[in-house]
Structure 1
Amino acid sequence: MSDCSDMEYSSDNECEYDDYYNTGTEDIDIEHHNALKTDPESFEYDCLSVEDVDKLLNESIECLCNTINCAPSLAKTLLLEHRWSVNEIVKRYRENPTELLTSARIRPLSHSPNQPKETPTTAATSGSATLSPMSSDGGSVHSSTLSCKSSLGNRSQTGDSNRYSMTTTMAATTITPTTPSIVATVQTLENRPNQSLCSVCAVYQTLDKFHAIPCGHSYCRDCWSTHFETQINQGISTGIDCMATQCNVLVPEDLVLTLLCKPHMRTKYQHFAFQDYVKSHPELRFCPGPNCQVLIRSKELSPKKATCDTCKTVFCFLCGMDYHAPTDCKVIKKWLTKCADDSETANYISAHTKDCPKCHICIEKNGGCNHMQCFSCKHNFCWMCLGDWKSHGSEYYECSRYKENPNIAHESVHAQAREALKKYLHYYERWENHSKSFQLEQQTLDRLKQRINEKVMKGLGTWIDWQYLFTAAALLAKCRYTLQYTYPYAYFMESGPRKSLFEYQQARLESEIENLSWKFERAETTDRADLENQMDIAEKLRITLLKDFFATCA
């Protein structure tokens, strides 16, 4: 068949092909829209690059700067404090601008002996932006002047492009110190004209080497620079505050970037600052994948499944941890903490071998399915409870339920502790078992790929003919993953009708998953229609459980 580039089509044929592909695109959009309605795990989100996020944050900064007439560095501090809600900042600005600045640690709470009055003389080599909040009657309440020079990335601001980068280069700001003790010292020193004593390093410096922040505290350039480097090396950037005792006023970003002389320290500061901005933004999440630079954005703040387009990492959008439906974020954190604390106690259950309950021969689990068949006596039993597989029945997978002692409240403290440990180990063993089954089923899939490849090479069908097996493997992994996270959910549930309903649905799901796993491991001898029917049953039970018990609200 010749290449597409060598083929000639009439204009009518081209229109027909355009209509065909456009129709396909509409079908995909309809399917995606339907998935958002029917799948409790689906939601709208976008995968963004660092540049895209930088642009997004700049738009908020520019909007706030234009609305309340402030410097970009001041806008960043306010947005960081208010989780990037421009409307909330503007509302508070109109109600009480003084309280807005003090709550954001831009101005001191009150003037005390350790907080000199903010009346320094400010000389800046670049343009200045002044925030002048107005009172309800139109009068000016106060004025806070911050000098700045902004740029987008490494490009300077030119023409009508009024954009403010997260990487801002500020010009030097020279402030004459007016702390009473320093001024008095300078005035009494006839042999040190135009000099002042830095209260940190106790060295006399010329006045042009001193820099002050809005609280009025002034120190020499070298002391500020050392303070900044120390804070940055500790991972602090937007939270760098004043060096004065009992003063929590934040140091403006422009002053930090002005006094940091080492390029690698400036880069480090900007990197930490960008991380702080993203972490404070409610709609943004870093992809937790190793060395992945992608960021996820969604306006729906819910614990749903986000998948990175680049590294394919799957995680919970709300908390950033491994995806954990139907368990909510708070419960899974409690569960993981408990597992870490009790890991030594649970070590004995980590072995892969158990004895056959009939012939007592040692058996190793080498697949994901919990339906075991002894190689020696052919006895079918459950790996979890070692009970006869026939006794499990098709409707209720009894060994997934923990039978609590109804009289445990009247027992001794030691008896209650033993019962609590027994309950924990019951759920932990099943949690850990499904995690290992998930890994073993991946190995089964690898072996299946090799066998299918051999069949294709022998002419026994094509890869397309065997594609349904890979679909079954993907569905089995998804169901197994959901089932694993039902055990932390059940562990922390209060006893009652709702827990009974949950355990019923959990048991049915587990039963059908084991049936699916059994048929998948014997896929070459299993009827395709039977396997696909089992897939449909397992997926419907999984979706039903999630719809009934997965809290998708933050």
Structure 2
Amino acid sequence: MEDYIYISSDDDEWDNNQDYNNDDDDDCEFDDGFSEIEQQSIGICQKAPSCKVIRKESLLAAQKEDLQRVMDLLSLKEHHARSLLIHYRWEADKVFAVFVERGSEKLYAEAGVTLEGKDELTPTLSTAELTCQICFEDVPVEQTTVMDCNHRFCNDCWTTHFSININEGKSKRVTCMAQKCNVICDEGKIRDLVTAKDPILAEKFDRFLLESYIDDNKRVKWCPSVPHCGNAIRIEDDEYCCEVECACGVQFCFNCLSEAHSPCSCMMWRLWMTKCKNDGKTVMWINENAKHCPRCHHAVEKNGGCNLVRCRCGQPFCWLCGGATGFEHTWSSIQGHTCGIYKEGEKDKAANVRNDLLRYTYYYERYMVHCDSLKLEANMKEKLHSEVLLLEARELQSKDFSWAENGLCRLRQSRRILSCSYPVSFYVFGQSLFKNEMTPKEMEIKQNLFENLQQQLEINVERLSMFLEEPFAEYPEEKVLETRMKIMTLSTVTDNLCEKLYDCIDNDLLVTLEQATHTIARYSSNGVAKASELPN
């Protein structure tokens, strides 16, 4: 068997004599996980998905769950419960906590909820009129509407007020028109009045109320797919910094809605994406064709044969060494400069800029190499499937070939993690984001630890990729079993290394830095959590 680069603890030892044959043809719960016996052999705990897919058809059902909880426990009508939940960002537990700690009066007052009061106007005649305090017109009582706060105005004024709020996108919390009254209007009465005048606007109002469950809910976010799939994802716990997969197949960070980027924090990823967008396409060209001005540090391209060049800021400098010079030169010398004499220990800003560019180029190249490999390996699934079909057609002793596709899932997960680890190196061990957060000695020790894990992961990821690309369907049975063992072993090794890399970042690097700002999603052997369907 091949040697694998991995520093293991006693808990991570691999028993090569264990029987991995799986006679049961069970489906793997996760596409990028392992079969049941393989999970037991490497200690992976099966865990139910912690997130749900909310489709358009199930959005009402999802909203009804929280509404019913509040309605039952506080004995409220639906529109009162909705007003409370919208105010508290659909956190039902927070509604109950405020109720217990501060009482119902504070709870309702802060959310603008007033339970229905007694209508002081009890008309005895159907022809009775009153004066609307908005338009000051005398109107029949039956053409007026009273809200829970006991303020009554004519239907035309109410309808105009509601229409303006709906068109301005404020329909989720429409307050009473009375001066200094912050009570939320009854959504049923809003719907009835607006429908009578503009049914399309009433539908828009209903849509706003329905989508408030997503727009105002910290636990629910729209899937960032392009074009938009129409789904939303709801997480079931308070761990907002996590990575999820929508039913449409898009994997994303729930916290920042970017593509899945752990073990890189959201802030580092945002900075890295911006830097790659601004500098990535030109960094190699600049490195090969330009030099930096020693005064303003802008990149300068030489368009002639003379080695005395001038930046747009007016500074002349020597193209050979990058040093600043005078404005004149002769056949034998350049004014104020000679680069033919080596000066020990000479440093300048241009050298620092060049070093920064070279440092960024180093990490950018490695990041892009693994991103490109990830795209190419996405096409391996069809090839592996064909290989498995050929193996199944042969009369081999082993009938379980899930190790091939499981290995590919592990490869893709580890490759993505590896690519995202390079922005972590760039920022944590640089001088821009965490300047003066670590002493030089601390940085050296932690950088050696992190880069050692990173290098081990890179070596084993490449080995796993190499074995998966082999035409093992053509091998004799003995060699097929050997390849199977190599792929399963490497899958376990890369899984353990990924977990150690996350642990190193979270507990060794970020623990001494701004950890609250740079929280990362937890590592999961099963990969990004796939959202399960929420019943309609």
**Change in CA separation of 1:86 and 1:429 when aligned onto 2, cut-off 3 Å:** same
**Change in CA separation of 1:244 and 1:507 when aligned onto 2, cut-off 3 Å:** farther
Q: 2:52 aligns to what?
A: 47
Deviations 1:278-321 (A, max 9, x none): 4545555555554254644423625344334x434333455554
Q: 1:89 aligns to what?
A: 95
1:459 to partner: Cα distance: 8.2
1:507 partnered with 2:455: yes
Secondary structure of 1:474's aligned partner: helix
Deviations 1:436-474 (A, max 9, x none): 22112224555x369759978998999979765444332
In the TM superposition, 1:337-356 aligns within 5 A as: 338-339=274-275, 343-348=277-282
Q: 2:510 aligns to what?
A: none
Secondary structure of 1:344's aligned partner: helix
Q: 2:300 aligns to what?
A: none
Code of the residue aligned with 1:474 in structure 2: it is C
Code of the residue aligned with 1:73 in structure 2: it is H
Q: Distance in 2 between matches of 1:33 and 1:499?
A: 34
Q: 1:485 aligns to what?
A: 420
- Structure 1: state its 5+ residue gaps: 1-19, 108-143, 148-173, 177-191, 355-409
1:291 partnered with 2:262: no
Q: 1:255 aligns with which of 185, 189, 210?
A: 189
Secondary structure of 2:407's aligned partner: helix
Secondary structure of 2:71's aligned partner: helix
Secondary structure of 1:435's aligned partner: helix
1:196 to partner: Cα distance: 3.1
Secondary structure of 1:346's aligned partner: helix
**Change in CA separation of 1:452 and 1:256 when aligned onto 2, cut-off 3 Å:** same
**Change in CA separation of 1:327 and 1:345 when aligned onto 2, cut-off 3 Å:** closer
Name the TM-score, length of structure 1 as normaliser: 0.55
1:105 partnered with 2:112: yes
Alignment check: 8 A CA contact 1:39 1:543 kept: no
Code of the residue aligned with 2:416 in structure 1: it is Y
1:315 partnered with 2:255: no
Secondary structure of 1:492's aligned partner: helix
Q: Distance in 2 between matches of 1:518 and 1:195?
A: 85
Alignment check: 8 A CA contact 2:63 2:210 kept: no
**Change in CA separation of 1:429 and 1:224 when aligned onto 2, cut-off 3 Å:** farther
1:65 partnered with 2:64: no
Q: Distance in 2 between matches of 1:313 and 1:473?
A: 18
Q: Distance in 2 between matches of 1:236 and 1:430?
A: 48
Alignment check: 8 A CA contact 1:229 1:265 kept: yes
Code of the residue aligned with 1:313 in structure 2: it is V
Q: Distance in 2 between matches of 1:234 and 1:507?
A: 55
In the TM superposition, 1:21-420 aligns within 5 A as: 31=36, 44-45=49-50, 47=52, 54-55=60-61, 57-86=63-92, 88-93=94-99, 95-106=102-113, 144-145=115-116, 194-196=129-131, 199=134, 205-211=139-145, 213=147, 220-242=154-176, 249-261=183-195, 262-281=198-217, 283-288=219-224, 290-293=228-231, 295-299=233-237, 301-308=239-246, 310-336=247-273, 338-339=274-275, 343-348=277-282
Secondary structure of 1:345's aligned partner: helix
Q: Select between 229-238 and 68-77 the one with higher mean Cα deviation.
A: 229-238
Q: Distance in 2 between matches of 1:312 and 1:239?
A: 35
Q: Distance in 1 between matches of 2:353 and 2:190?
A: 55
Deviations 1:222-248 (A, max 9, x none): 444344344444544423345678765
1:275 to partner: Cα distance: 2.5
**Change in CA separation of 1:272 and 1:522 when aligned onto 2, cut-off 3 Å:** same
**Change in CA separation of 1:450 and 1:193 when aligned onto 2, cut-off 3 Å:** closer
Q: Distance in 2 between matches of 1:87 and 1:509?
A: 42
**Change in CA separation of 1:208 and 1:329 when aligned onto 2, cut-off 3 Å:** farther
Alignment check: 8 A CA contact 2:117 2:149 kept: no
Q: Distance in 2 between matches of 1:29 and 1:287?
A: 27
Q: Distance in 2 between matches of 1:327 and 1:32?
A: 32
Code of the residue aligned with 1:435 in structure 2: it is C
Deviations 1:382-430 (A, max 9, x none): xxxxxxxxxxxxxxxxxxxxxxxxxxxx975x87666656554544443
Q: Distance in 1 between matches of 2:139 and 2:265?
A: 58
Alignment check: 8 A CA contact 1:434 1:483 kept: yes
Secondary structure of 1:515's aligned partner: helix
1:61 to partner: Cα distance: 3.0
Code of the residue aligned with 1:239 in structure 2: it is R
Code of the residue aligned with 1:517 in structure 2: it is S
Alignment check: 8 A CA contact 1:175 1:212 kept: no
In the TM superposition, 1:518-529 aligns within 5 A as: 518-523=466-471, 529=482
Alignment check: 8 A CA contact 1:305 1:314 kept: yes
1:334 to partner: Cα distance: 4.5
> How many percent identity over aligned positions?
20
Alignment check: 8 A CA contact 1:71 1:146 kept: no
1:103 to partner: Cα distance: 2.0
1:84 to partner: Cα distance: 4.3
Q: Please report the RMSD computed on the Cα atoms of aligned residues, expressed in angstroms.
A: 5.2
More relative contact order in 1 or in 2 (CA 8 Å, sep 6+)? 2
Q: 1:6 aligns to what?
A: none
Code of the residue aligned with 2:259 in structure 1: it is D
Deviations 1:256-281 (A, max 9, x none): 22222144433333333232224545
Secondary structure of 2:239's aligned partner: coil
In the TM superposition, 1:1-20 aligns within 5 A as: none
Code of the residue aligned with 1:431 in structure 2: it is Y
Q: Distance in 1 between matches of 2:402 and 2:74?
A: 60
Alignment check: 8 A CA contact 2:79 2:186 kept: yes
Aligned residues: 393
- Structure 2: state its 5+ residue gaps: 1-22, 122-126, 289-346, 429-433, 507-519, 524-536
Q: 2:376 aligns to what?
A: 440
Deviations 1:189-210 (A, max 9, x none): xxx99353564x7866545434
Alignment check: 8 A CA contact 2:54 2:62 kept: no
Code of the residue aligned with 1:61 in structure 2: it is L
Alignment check: 8 A CA contact 2:417 2:498 kept: yes
